[in-house]
Structure formats: structure tokens, C-alpha cells
Amino acid sequence: MSSPILLVPLAAILGLVCWGAIIPRWRRGLELYILFIPFAGAVELWLYPASWAVLIKDFLFAIPAYIGFALSGELGSALAGIPRSFGAIVLLFVGIVLVQAFNPSGPGLLPTLVGLKVWLFYVPMLLLGRAYVRDEASLLRLSRLMIGLIWLPCSVGILQWLLSLALGYQYAISLFYGPAAISATQGFARFNNGLMRIPATFAFVTQYLLYILCMFVPVLGCSALEQDPGWQKLRTASLILLCVAAFMSGSRAAFILVPVLLFVFYELRRGAVGFIWAGILVATVLGLALSVSQVDRTGLLHMETDLSENYAVGQLGEIQEALAQTWLGRGVGADTGAAHVVSDDPSQSAAFEGFYAKAVAELGIAGCLIVIAAQMMCLIVAASVRSRCQQTVVAPYCDAIMAFTLLVLVYGYKGSVLSLDPMNMLYWLLGGVLFSLPDIGVWRSRSDWYGEYTAQPALRVPEPNLAQAANASGMSPQP
């Protein structure tokens, strides 16, 4: 690998090029950021153990996109599209984080800055998502961009699993990431039932799973929006690929989260029929994935049952322990995993796994309640948007975002999902997309129970009969 000193001028040149291209057109920066997400973890692993590699995507794409958006004059219209109730709770959330940044018992300057970045840096994506999606074409463009990218990390992840079976787990992953493979796989963690930690193109398996969960939104949401036959087939294939890749990621949570997401979405779309359809889909894809991956079904069932019971009790214990330590919070960054790199006492960082336990530890009980309220408000807004868009082409998108929002709210009990890439960025971005849906929906009538739509014909106004009008008025009709 080249010396870090030689990378400085290269990074400066690349930064100038990106900033020059993005600031005049901030949408380009958002698209480049989304394009870079599947590669970000791989770049971090290739530059391992450089901790600054996690900031590459933010420096090259996010910051200039924010600057370009601020200079574009679109801020006012984007803010106008955010419901006041949601805007108020987000401002309250930002406020409590900023107050805790000045907590005298905080972890120090650098860990606090890292904590601020983790909590707040991606909140403006809410506005960028709202402004980016202006009509069906822009929503379709964003969705196609995400759907097309799915195939790279998912294919790599499945390939890594198959190579691990053929060549050996450690050898196969080391072919991709060398010494960094130990970190990416959490020490080559492997379970007795055959599950293996597979990072694909991400820094570790949880990032990979979070990316998959986020990508279910455009894949499921485009079921009525997408009219091109080729893209429709790709969308259907992508749905199956996401499920298989999730079950072959080695993440134990995938066997719970993916079925829950699909069951909630299809129940919203089709009621009881959707619940049955989701069960058939999950059973079929899960059977396929387990057959290919050679995972022991009985061992997996026992592991998931024990895991669910342990987390139901254990994560509650985490919240109780956080409350026993503090009711007022220990300051931003005090329990942030990313802050341990710059912390004077790394052993004090990331003591809690759950997001709500972390919120209590850093923001106090009041901050935790505000964090939960912000997510609840997003869910409430999603339900409201869904009720307004029931007969529109964007109705599946409403249902997909609502199911996704509910999943994140529940998953936060177990894991610090909104503190990790790429969920922290995509959650706020999809929230902004949600607020645009009522403005871009084209009212259509259902053609069948499965959510397909056909455009209603425009109302035809009858042309006036000039002869009758002339007779009634006693005048001669004009030619």
C-alpha cells in the first residue's frame, strides 16, 4: 500500500474534483453517495487499519451535497413539505443532542465531536430526500439507482459464502481483504449450525444486513411505479436476491428481521392474503438459502429461539443498567462505538449494544424518550401518508417505508442501528422521500387485488351544440 503521505495530494485533487462537480448540482452528490455506499466498506477494509477511511464518503459526497443544497435556494420548499409536528420533534432531538454535547461529565472533545457526527450528521438527508423526489420520474430514478446497485454486494456476499464452503472460511475471506478479514468477520466467527459471518463489500456483517434491509424499500415500493418490463423483472429478481443474501450473510438477526419486514409489508398491501403470500415467499426463499448454504435447520431454529429469549431479557437489562448509571446522561460520544478510536479510555466506549440503552447513557432518560418519539412520529406520518395515497401509484412505497420504519423502531431495542452506516444515512433519506409521496402520486384505479394500477381516463367535457343554443336564443349559429 502507498505511503499515507502520498495519498494526501491525491485525496486533495479528488476532493476538489468532487466538490467542483457536486456543489453546482447537489443531486449529483446524493447520487454519487448512494453509488459509493456498496464500496465504502471495502475501501475501509483495503485501507485498514486507517480509521479516517470511514470519512471518505462524507468528505467527497455528503459535505459538498449539503453545501450545494444550501446554495440552491430549495431549502424553503423542502422545509415547507415537512409536517410541523415532525419538524418540531426533530428540532427537539437536535436540541437535546447539542445540549448533551456540553455535558461537563462528557468523554472529552474528540469523542464528543465523533458522537455529534454519529447523531446528527445525516439528519439533513431528510431535506435532500424531500427535495430530490419531485415527481414520479425522480422517484423512479432514485429507485432504479438503488435496485441496480443491489446486485454487486449481494453477489459478492453469496460468492464469499460459496468460496468459504469450497476453500475454507478463513482462506476465502482473506482472499478479499487480507489481514482486515479478521476484523470484518469478528474474528472469523462461525456457529455450530454452519452460519458464518459474511461481510460482502462492507466493513462488517451488520452493515451488510442493514444495507439489505434498506434496499427492500425501493424494491418493494416500485411494484406499481415501475412500468418498464425489463426493470420489473429485475425488481422481482432483486427481491429474491435480497432475501437469499440476507439469509446467507451469517447474521442471526436476518432470520427474524427479513420475515418481519415482508410480513408487515404484504399485510399492509393485501391484508390476510398478503400474510399468506409473505409466508410462502419466506418459506421458499429460506429453504433455498439453507440448502445452498448447508446450514443445519434444526440448529438454526434452536439458536434463533434461544437468541430471541436472551435478547428479550438481556436488552431490557441493558436499559436498566444505563438508568442505574445515569438519568441525566453522560454526554454525547460517551457510549458511541466509533468514538473509542479517539477516546482517552476506549474501554468506556460502546458499553451498550441496544440503541435505546445507548440513548439513555448519552442523552439521559429525557433524550431517550425524545429519540423514541421522533421515530414514533415518523411512523405516524407514514401512516398518515399511506391513508392519503391508498389509490395512487406510490401506495406500495408508502407501505414499504411504513414497514421499514416500524422495523427500525423495534430493532433499536436490540441493536444500535441508527448509529451505523449505511442505515443512519438511508433512514433519514427515505424519511424525506416519504414526505414527497403525497405530492407526486398519480391517482389510479386498481386493476386487480395484487396492487397493479391502470390510469383512469380523463373526464371528457361534451362539446356545446351550437344549433340548439342558437334556436334557444333566436340567433343564427356561427359557422
pLDDT tens readout for residues 392-432: 889 999 999 999 999 999 998 888 889 999 999 999 999 99
Which three cell numbers mark 178? Answer: 487480507
- Residues 67 and 156 both lie in one domain: no
With a CB cutoff of 8 Å and minimum separation 6, the contacts of 222 are: 140, 143, 147, 231, 235, 396, 397
Predicted confidence (pLDDT) per residue in 426-460, tens digit? 999 999 999 999 887 544 433 333 333 333 333 33
- Residues 170 and 205 both lie in one domain: yes
How many structural domains is the chain composed of? 3
Q: What is the pLDDT of residue 238?
A: 96
- Residues 144 and 284 both lie in one domain: yes
How does DSSP classify residue 203?
S
Predicted confidence (pLDDT) per residue in 91-128, tens digit? 999 999 999 999 988 888 888 999 999 999 999 999 99
- Residues 221 and 274 both lie in one domain: yes
| Domain-located, residue 246 | yes
- Residues 191 and 103 both lie in one domain: no
> Which residue type does 197 have?
R
Q: How many helices (H) and strands (E) does the chain have?
A: 20, 2
- Residues 374 and 289 both lie in one domain: no
- Residues 152 and 88 both lie in one domain: no
- Residues 88 and 162 both lie in one domain: no
| Domain-located, residue 309 | no
| Domain-located, residue 476 | no
- Residues 144 and 224 both lie in one domain: yes
| Domain-located, residue 255 | yes
Cβ 235 vs Cβ 226: under 8 Å: yes
Which among 392, 397, 381 has a CA at the least distance from the CA of 265?
Answer: 397
Mean pLDDT within 239-265: 94
- Residues 7 and 96 both lie in one domain: no
Which three cell numbers mark 210? Answer: 442493514
Tell me which residue range forms the domain holding 24.
Answer: 1-73
| Domain-located, residue 466 | no
Q: What is the pLDDT of residue 257?
A: 93
How does DSSP classify residue 47?
T
- Residues 63 and 92 both lie in one domain: no
Peptide bond into 49 cis (omega under 30): yes
| Domain-located, residue 461 | no
| Domain-located, residue 303 | no
- Residues 127 and 148 both lie in one domain: no
Domain-ending residue, one of 73, 103, 124: 73
Helix residue ranges per DSSP H, 389-448: 395-411, 423-440
Domain-ending residue, one of 238, 260, 295: 295
> Has residue 247 got a pLDDT over 80?
yes
| Domain-located, residue 360 | yes
> Has residue 236 got a pLDDT over 80?
yes
